[in-house]
Chain A
Amino acid sequence: MTRPRTLYEKIWDAHVVEQRPDGTCLIFIDRHLVHEVTSPQAFAGLRASGRTVRRPDLTLAVPDHNLPTTARKDAAGNRLPIADMESAAQLAALETNAPDFGIRYIDATAAEQGIVHVVGPEQGFSLPGTTIVCGDSHTACHGGIGALAFGIGTSEVEHVLATQTLLLQPAKTMEVRVEGEVGPGVTAKDIILHITGTIGAAGGTGHVIEYTGSTIRALSVEGRLTVSNMAIEGGARAGLIAPDATTIAYLKGRPYAPKGADWDAAVAYWTSLATDPGATYDKTVVIDAADIAPSVTWGTSPEDVVPITGTVPAPDSFADPSKQAAAAKSLAYMGLEPGTRMQDVRIENIFIGSCTNSRIEDLRAAAAVLKGRHKAANVKWAIVVPGSGLVKAQAEAEGLDRIFTDAGLEWREPGCSACLGMNPDKVPAGERCASTSNRNFVGRQGPGSRTHLVSPAMAAAAAVTGRLTDVRELID
């Protein structure tokens, strides 16, 4: 009998091409997602060395990071130019590089266009048990369907394009088990914020985290993608959730998913991937779902999480002196005083979107809160950015766009938007944003921007009241 193995070990073992004496492994990459920002120099490198893309069939390119989220075509259906010259050049480079190297390309105006990490699972391009890479740090997202997914840098993008492999050190394994039923108003985002607050921003360093337990099993695939998306915020190299009936039902019939007899073979394989009974993790953290409240960040590290009913902590409430210093700096940047009730923090900007929270379920949750309500007068800028053109179409078919616009929010075209302050969607310096994205770093949403990470329902609640708000007060 073979040794019991974890989900991570099974996927890893199935992809080792070669092991080097120092333990580094050459790992085969099943799927490579490419976008406009981290790929131009990689393609330039290939050209300079006369190399080709080894497996264009395993590569999918789609622009998302830089694209403005305003209308992409005029009334006559002509494409509108991008004002920022560097963004336009990066987009143009991808548009040339993809066909030059024979890579599938989803155009900026195509119905399927969207954020790479939304598009991959939605198209059935990302599959359980595969290795996936992308030049974006939130590639861990695809772990939500049971894929081992890593964010990589530009040199590695070129390495994967040329060789379809990556040199990696095996990771340690960490189990984060969440058990029990969540209370009202608690979503997948609150679960991952709570986990990040519990294990800390470095809690998963050197590990791949597998999320297990009844609470995780009860999540939809959309919710699982949200959880795994932020594995990186807990310091982990990747996140994983074992594929199960929910995953399989989600993937069935998707454009790139296997069909017919292939489908049956794939399902049999995916079902065999779950961690074996008796397999051990290097580290386990157990969380009781009953302890998870609708959550919000107060600082500039994703571990700076409190329940919405909580207060801004005092720096000296932390035992670690370096954390005390970091907290003091965070509070100065965020313009917050210790002891302030989170619910008294006024908000000027609302961002509902990003690969963490821009899927249909997220938009439904936000719309449920906003229905028949209007944004508060002090909320100056509030945008809803669907994760893909298909999510957008679905939301419009359900009438969600009308709920948003009636509530005074803007309904945008798909893309990364205000997640990263690289395109025109930015939060002004000194202003706050209740944001459904994944990073509250200094300047992440634009220079001087102050980010409070929340779930879509909580962002919607903040839009209605103009301050951070316990969504449970607005739902029954």
Chain B
Amino acid sequence: MAPIEKVEGRAIPFGLKNVDTDVIIPAKWLKTISREGLGKGAFETLRADPNNLFDQPEYRQAPILIAGDNFGCGSSREHAAWALGDLGIRVVIAPSYSDIFSGNAVKNGILPVVLPQSAIDRLMEVAATDPIHVDLDTQTVTTPFQDRFTFDIDPFRKMCLLNGLDEISLTEKSDAAIAAHEQMIAKTQPWLTPTLA
């Protein structure tokens, strides 16, 4: 998982409220076998409109998405985070998220920034013409026009994102303890390791 510290670039001024995971990635994409390529399915219904925001030249590859309240509600599918990541999104900025979505986002190296609606409104304005700068270390979002918004984030999530640690990487820090358990089993319960007669 790629670490996140500073992200600068265009932000998609999306702004919709109550965007559910079925809008982020429709159910028909759930039968796929990889995580890559899901970006194609991201916001598929909205992108059926040729004038959609996501496919405007200035927002292609934009690393930031600005959204409305309750982003990522609905089904718990982790595909939503995979699809955003595959689309190139590293940061989402919204007034609130569904718990499951923000958890899945962090697990997949996407920073969910929470800012009040007034800040969102201002960022939407800026995003129409200029880039936005997000700094996780200082927990700030800034614009070329001297706007400066600070955000809160759970220290554990911040640490994971700054270091690019997913849950597996965290568990890998316990490697010695896992190895000790394996050795103990090999000694005391060797029959636990399956062998074909």
Interface on A for B, CB 8 Å cutoff? 17-18, 26, 28, 30-31, 40-41, 44-45, 48-49, 51, 54-55, 57-58, 86-87, 89-90, 93, 125, 127, 130, 153-155, 158-159, 162-165, 167, 255-256, 258-259, 262-263, 265-266, 269
Give the residue of A87, A89, A256 whose beta carbon is less than 8 angstroms from that of B196: A256
The reply to whether A158 and B168 contact each other, CB–CB distance below 8 Å, is yes
Interchain residue pairs with CB less than 8 A apart (23):
A18-B177, A26-B174, A26-B178, A28-B182, A40-B34, A41-B32, A44-B33, A44-B35, A45-B35, A48-B36, A51-B168, A58-B193, A58-B194, A87-B31, A90-B33, A153-B78, A159-B168, A163-B172, A164-B182, A165-B171, A259-B197, A265-B189, A266-B191
- The 0/1 profile, CB within 8 Å of A marked 1, for residues 76-100 of chain B is 0010001000000000000000000
Contact partners of A48 in chain B: CB under 8 A: 35-36
A258 to chain B, nearest CB (A): 4
B171 to chain A, nearest CB (A): 5
Known: A44-B35, A89-B33. A269 touches B189 (CB 8 A): yes
Interface on B for A, CB 8 Å cutoff? 1, 31-36, 78, 82, 107, 166-168, 171-172, 174, 177-178, 181-182, 185, 189-197
Contact partners of B32 in chain A: CB under 8 A: 40-41, 86
The reply to whether A155 and B192 contact each other, CB–CB distance below 8 Å, is no
Give the residue of B33, B36, B82, B192 whose beta carbon is less than 8 angstroms from that of A93: B33
B72 to chain A, nearest CB (A): 16
User: Taking CB as reference atom, which chain B residue is nearest A127?
Assistant: B192
Select the residue from A28, A55, A153 with max chain B CB neighbours within 10 A. A28
The reply to whether B177 and A167 contact each other, CB–CB distance below 8 Å, is no
Contact partners of A256 in chain B: CB under 8 A: 194-196
Contact partners of B78 in chain A: CB under 8 A: 153-155
The reply to whether B34 and A17 contact each other, CB–CB distance below 8 Å, is no
Contact partners of A40 in chain B: CB under 8 A: 32-34
B78 to chain A, nearest CB (A): 6
Give the residue of A28, A45, A57 whose beta carbon is less than 8 angstroms from that of B194: A57
Known: A49-B168, A163-B178. A265 touches B191 (CB 8 A): yes
How far, in whole Å, are A17 and B78 apart by their CA atoms in the complex?
A: 27
How far, in whole Å, are A256 and B195 apart by their CA atoms in the complex?
A: 6
Give the residue of A17, A31, A255 whose beta carbon is less than 8 angstroms from that of B181: A17
Give the residue of B172, B177, B197 whose beta carbon is less than 8 angstroms from that of A17: B177
Contact partners of B36 in chain A: CB under 8 A: 44, 48
Known: A155-B107, A255-B197. A18 touches B33 (CB 8 A): no
Give the residue of B1, B107, B168, B191 whose beta carbon is less than 8 angstroms from that of A258: B191
Contact partners of B33 in chain A: CB under 8 A: 40-41, 44, 89-90, 93
Instruction: Tally the A-B contacts, defined by beta carbons under 8 Å.
Output: 89
The reply to whether B34 and A44 contact each other, CB–CB distance below 8 Å, is yes
A365 to chain B, nearest CB (A): 31
Give the residue of A18, A54, A57, A263 whose beta carbon is less than 8 angstroms from that of B174: A18
Contact partners of B177 in chain A: CB under 8 A: 17-18, 26
Contact partners of A259 in chain B: CB under 8 A: 197
The reply to whether B191 and A159 contact each other, CB–CB distance below 8 Å, is no
Contact partners of A26 in chain B: CB under 8 A: 171, 174, 177-178
How far, in whole Å, are A269 and B190 apart by their CA atoms in the complex?
A: 12
The reply to whether B194 and A125 contact each other, CB–CB distance below 8 Å, is yes
User: Taking CB as reference atom, which chain B residue is nearest A48?
Assistant: B35
Contact partners of A31 in chain B: CB under 8 A: 194
User: Taking CB as reference atom, which chain B residue is nearest A47?
Assistant: B34
Contact partners of A45 in chain B: CB under 8 A: 35
Among all A-B residue pairs, the 3 with the closest Cβ atoms: A40-B33, A258-B191, A262-B191
How far, in whole Å, are A269 and B171 apart by their CA atoms in the complex?
A: 29
Contact partners of A87 in chain B: CB under 8 A: 31
The reply to whether B1 and A49 contact each other, CB–CB distance below 8 Å, is yes
The reply to whether B194 and A159 contact each other, CB–CB distance below 8 Å, is no
The reply to whether A159 and B1 contact each other, CB–CB distance below 8 Å, is no
Contact partners of A58 in chain B: CB under 8 A: 193-194
Contact partners of A127 in chain B: CB under 8 A: 192
A435 to chain B, nearest CB (A): 23
Give the residue of B171, B189, B191 whose beta carbon is less than 8 angstroms from that of A263: B191
Contact partners of B171 in chain A: CB under 8 A: 26, 159, 162-163, 165, 167
A54 to chain B, nearest CB (A): 8
Give the residue of B1, B31, B190, B194 whose beta carbon is less than 8 angstroms from that of A90: B31
User: Taking CB as reference atom, which chain A residue is nearest B82?
Assistant: A41
Contact partners of A167 in chain B: CB under 8 A: 167, 171
How far, in whole Å, are A51 and B172 apart by their CA atoms in the complex?
A: 11
User: Taking CB as reference atom, which chain A residue is nearest B107?
Assistant: A155
How far, in whole Å, are A446 and B61 apart by their CA atoms in the complex?
A: 39
How far, in whole Å, are A262 and B186 apart by their CA atoms in the complex?
A: 12
Contact partners of B167 in chain A: CB under 8 A: 155, 159, 167
Contact partners of B107 in chain A: CB under 8 A: 155
Select the residue from B36, B171, B172, B194 with max chain A CB neighbours within 10 A. B194
Known: A155-B167, A159-B171, A162-B168. A255 touches B196 (CB 8 A): yes
How far, in whole Å, are A163 and B181 apart by their CA atoms in the complex?
A: 12
B40 to chain A, nearest CB (A): 15
The reply to whether A262 and B190 contact each other, CB–CB distance below 8 Å, is yes
How far, in whole Å, are A65 and B78 apart by their CA atoms in the complex?
A: 20
B19 to chain A, nearest CB (A): 22
How far, in whole Å, are A49 and B166 apart by their CA atoms in the complex?
A: 10
How far, in whole Å, are A263 and B35 apart by their CA atoms in the complex?
A: 43
